[in-house]
A and B are shown apart, each in its own frame.
Chain A
Amino acid sequence: MHELSIASRVVELAAEHCRAAAARRVVAVRLRIGRLACVHEQALRFSFDLAREGTPLDTAVLHVVEVPVTVWCPTCAAERTLPGIQHFACPICGTPTGDIRAGKEIDLDSLELEAEETATS
């Protein structure tokens, strides 16, 4: 359950940004998780619910965008997206490649913040 470690850091980071922006609460959190990151989405959501209690993320919606693995194929001289994560070879020409261009992300992409009530109605 390393997802709890990850969720705790998401909450920490988002709360810091929320404070820095003088916002009242976090409405939504968007993460980008690569397929090679070994992060299980359901475990992450479960952990997120535990980690956010009593924070400005209390009612935040969690969006998780899964990033497929992209490799560089030296034969095609092009980036290729792999259909899975068990065979690191160009899906077009079959050349083995370990030159990974995307798919390991564990990133906090964006936050949706609700401003303090200084806004006019």
Chain B
Amino acid sequence: MIEPRILEVRTKILKKNDALAREMRRDFQAAGVLVVNMVSSPGTGKTAFLKETLTRLLDRGETVAAIVGDLETDNDARRLAESGAPVRQIMTHGLCHLEADMVQRHLEGWSLSDLRYLFIENVGNLVCPTSWDLGESVRLALLSVTEGEDKPLKYPGLFNTCDVAALTKLDLAAACDFDRATARATIEAVRPGIRIIETSAKTGAGLDEWLDFLRARRTTLMHRSPPGQRDGDIGRHGGIVRKERPIDDDAVTPGRHPHPVE
């Protein structure tokens, strides 16, 4: 009679991705580049928002680059490249989210120390990107006025992981009977204390506030030392460990959000 035996494994299923993302975050921080992972539904206006962001940062004399993920086509990369920034497209061919190794491969040949800001436009999806850390220091959720104020309540998991939220297409707010107070309240309900910026890529409203937020975040990042030893080193998604049963990820601190809200 063969006795089955129980092996207590207690390991994170995504530990390979988490480990690579931590390593990338350390490299980004050491190079002085602030990395932003942009998540939203398809159609929220990520690309228009990012194109304006890149253009305005370049106007301010900053060095920027962007990586954009889509299932198919390089249309978004071509749109973004009109800003003058270096842009690379990741075509996932069906995969619904980006993973850290995909980002790492697309960084090849870029000198990180020449960059101040790197934007990763994730695949438009409010579910699947949730648990994949890309090594970012800021995760931005975008929500357009055409989507409905209660969307964060429908997709709380992803909104809960974000560090900052942008309301987009504010120029259409009146036409959509958009209720700003309700939208802000639903975002706050799933992510208390989060900074919410109201924007329009078309009119430029709110974009200065967004750029100022980025600059402040980059300054904070540069003053953290040594690189990767503090917030950036905490397992971000699922980085929660019950004290009595530690998981084999030594870099995890119970209960802390990796990127504190300002």
Contacts and interface: CB of A to CB of B under 8 A. Distances in A.
Nearest to B129: A2
Given A72-B255, A105-B240, A37 B192 contact: no
A85 B240 contact: no
A51 B112 CA distance: 37
Interface string B5-41: 1111111111010000000000000000000000000
A38 B13 contact: no
Contact of A97 (B8, B158, B192): B192
Contacts, number: 143
Interface in B210-249: 237-240, 242, 247
A9 B13 contact: yes
Contacts of B14: 6, 9, 106
Nearest to B1: A121
Contacts of B239: 104
B199 to A, nearest CB: 23
Interface on chain B toward A: helix, strand, loop, or mixed SS?
A: loop
Interface of A: 1-2, 5-6, 9-10, 13-14, 17, 21, 23-24, 27-28, 31, 34, 36-39, 72, 85-89, 96-115, 117, 119, 121
Interface of B: 1-14, 16, 95-97, 99, 127-128, 130-132, 153, 156-158, 160, 188-194, 237-240, 242, 247, 254-257, 261
Nearest to A118: B2
A99 to B, nearest CB: 6
B13 A119 contact: no
A6 B13 contact: yes
A23 B96 CA distance: 35
